[in-house]
A and B are shown apart, each in its own frame.
Chain A
Amino acid sequence: MSKRVLVVDDSPLVRNLVKKALNGNSEFCVVGEAANGKEAVDLAQKLEPDIITLDVTMPVMDGLDAAREILKQNSKIKILLLSAMGDDALLSQAQSLGIKHSLQKPFRAEQLLEALRKLLEV
């Protein structure tokens, strides 16, 4: 059965890139998309996805604050941080929340698929 993915990014272009990369791949299916952290928290509760691809710098609520809320509600959801930022301090903050996987933008479709597969190995 394919894993259900919630795509979170304030840029519709990036959300489309993620959807295109996952379309036609039987391992993953996109079940929803959110444009900020607040929407992500609401949709995560409603849709109960297996995986969330999560941007960091977003309006309303940023990715790390959203991740904190989401994982408080459901610690089984796996999160892939998908951001233009990827410095050690940010990744360490993410790790302290339980997020161990990240991919820096720009990314290629095959890099995204590989990162999602690694996320599921844990």
Chain B
Amino acid sequence: MDKDIEKLILESFIRSMCKVYRNLTNKELSAKGVEKMSSAVFKYSGAVAIVGFSGLVSGRMIVAMPKELAVIVYEALGGEQPSDDDLLLGVGEFGNMVAGNAITQINNHLKDANVRLSPPSSFLGEDLTFFNFKMSAYNILFESENLISRLNIALREV
């Protein structure tokens, strides 16, 4: 994939993650750097949402956060005293918003990109393992109130 397009995609997702979190919670989220994954495996313990995207550029976004942060997000979405099922709904909707805002920026920048999203899937648990088939992936760390969340963006190799 063209390096400029790759940069645009990653920056769009980073901006969207910060914007959506700030708009929902009125708190800042800061990005702590981008790292290209050397392994095809992404492991996480906590709450995770996956949203696929396809069009001129295709891939998938994983947003991963500790349970404490998933509770903050759920409450910011208007919920109260969440069960584990509620947290799955909350992190799924958060993932949908982050991906939707990022893809909006990408589509507006790359005319005729026509990238569209799949509905989110969400997971909650220990040692969740994801494997990237024929995709190059990047990890981005974020911090808010001493809680670390992650974006994992995998782009299909063409």
Q: A-side interface residues toward B, CB under 8 Å?
A: 10-14, 16-17, 20, 57-59, 83-90, 104-106, 108
Interface string of B7-33 (1 = CB under 8 A from A): 000000000000010011000000000
Which residues of chain B from 87 to 118 have a CB within 8 Å of any chain A CB?
Answer: 89-90, 92-93, 96-97, 99-101, 103-104, 107-108, 114, 116-118
**Alpha-carbon separation in the docked complex, A89 to B109 (Å):** 11
Determine if B79 is an interface residue (Cβ-Cβ < 8 Å).
yes
Let me know if A17 and B77 touch, CB within 8 A.
Answer: yes
Contact of A20 among B78, B116, B118 (CB under 8 A): B78
A59–B119 contact, CB under 8 A?
Answer: yes
Contact A11 B79 (CB under 8 A): no
Give Cα A84–Cα B117 distance, bound, in whole angstroms: 10
Could you count the A-B residue pairs with CB atoms below 8 Å apart for me: how many are there?
Answer: 65
Q: Which of B90, B100, B118 contacts A85 (CB 8 A)?
A: B100
A83: nearest residue on chain B (CB-CB)? B100
- B78 and A106 contact, CB distance less than 8 A: no
Residue of A nearest to B90 (CB): A13
The minimal Cβ–Cβ distance linking A4 to chain B, given in whole angstroms, is 22
Q: Which residues of B contact A17 (CB under 8 A)?
A: 77-78
* B114→A89 contact, CB < 8 A: yes
Smallest Cβ-Cβ distance to B23: which chain A residue? A106
- What residues on B are CB-neighbors of A108 within 8 Å? 23
Given contacts A17-B77, A84-B99, A88-B108, contact A57 B89 (CB under 8 A): no
Q: Which residues of B contact A84 (CB under 8 A)?
A: 96-97, 99-101, 104, 117
Quote the shortest CB–CB distance from A111 to chain B (angstroms).
10
Query: Which residues of chain A are near B77, meaning CB under 8 Å?
Result: 13-14, 17
Excluding A11-B89, A88-B107, A105-B96, 16 further A-B contacts by CB distance (< 8 Å) are A10-B119, A13-B89, A57-B96, A57-B100, A58-B119, A84-B100, A85-B100, A85-B104, A86-B100, A87-B107, A88-B108, A89-B114, A90-B107, A104-B104, A105-B100, A108-B23
